[in-house]
Amino acid sequence: MKIAVCIKQVVTRDWPLRVAESATWVRDQEASFEMNEPDAYALEEALRLKEKNGAEVVVCAAGPARVSQVIREALARGADRAIHVQSDELAFADANAVAEALATSIRDEGFDVVLTGLQSDDQGFGQTGVILAERMGLPHATIIMEVEVGDGRLRVKRELESGWFQWVSLPTPALLTIQSGINQLRYATLKGIMAAKRKEVRIVTPEGLPTAGHRILKLYVPEKDKATRFIEGPPANAARELVRLLREEARAL
């Protein structure tokens, strides 16, 4: 069995973000980066499937040269090899462009299972996985909390609204988007870090990216202000008005 895991490099969560001069992205030239959290859970699930069923785990990432940081981290955790779709434009590209770049680069590998995180910590659209499934012509299921493999099929547990869950059966090859918290993440060992230096990383340069389906017009830090509002009138009327304001405007109730 061959499993592909699509990972993304994002700015570290506790990094003090600053808007770039263009006002369309953050200033990431000196930022600290890490693996996207939902993708880390997807990688862990792939490694557990490998341990249970025997498989080759290949990590796939799209972005500039600095993405090699999270690729090496994934290899150190236990992935067997990697594919890096390298392009500076993919650092802030939309889900359509990233999915197309990944699909073109991994389509001929013949993966049985493709895993992605549910969404990214930076843009958070939750669309890359499902668009990738469409581009590759694969059945897919989203918000996965449990995966079972057997007889050429996948049996997966999906998280729904209001505490409900749904079990779905899929033929392979298939694509799953993994929910954070599905498992307990492992850390890279010293042995794994040393072994990662010898593992293959195939670099692919995309010939061209599709036109973006959207573009960011302006990025800004939310403005904070304070205001005092007096409620006058009889106590009963004032109480009703206070409850209305808390519920409809402040949304505290």
3-state secondary structure string across 82-98:
EEEEECHHHHCCCHHHH
Alpha helices in 89-234 (DSSP H): 95-106, 128-136, 190-196
Q: Can you tell me the distance from the alpha carbon of 3 to that of 222, in angstroms, rounded to the nearest whole number? A: 41
Domains of the chain: 2-204 (3.40.50.620)
Q: Can you tell me the distance from the alpha carbon of 154 to that of 191, in angstroms, rounded to the nearest whole number? A: 32
pLDDT of 151-197, one tens digit each? Answer: 889 999 999 988 899 999 999 999 999 999 999 999 999 999 999 99
For residue 28, pLDDT over 80 is answered with no
Looking at residue 19, what is its pLDDT? 83
Q: Can you tell me the distance from the alpha carbon of 131 to that of 118, in angstroms, rounded to the nearest whole number? A: 12
Sign of CA dihedral 132, 133, 138, 142: positive
For residue 217, pLDDT over 90 is answered with no
Q: Are the C-beta atoms of residues 95 and 125 closer than 8 Å to each other?
A: yes
pLDDT of 103-154, one tens digit each? Answer: 999 999 999 999 999 999 888 889 999 999 999 999 999 999 999 998 889 9
Looking at residue 229, what is its pLDDT? 83
pLDDT band at 202 (very low <50, low <70, confident <90, very high): very high
Residue 223: how many other CB atoms lie within 10 Å: 5
Residues 6+ apart with CB under 8 A from 74: 5, 7, 35, 43, 59, 82
Q: Quote the mean pLDDT of the chain.
A: 91
Looking at residue 182, what is its pLDDT? 92
Q: What is the pTM of this model?
A: 0.83
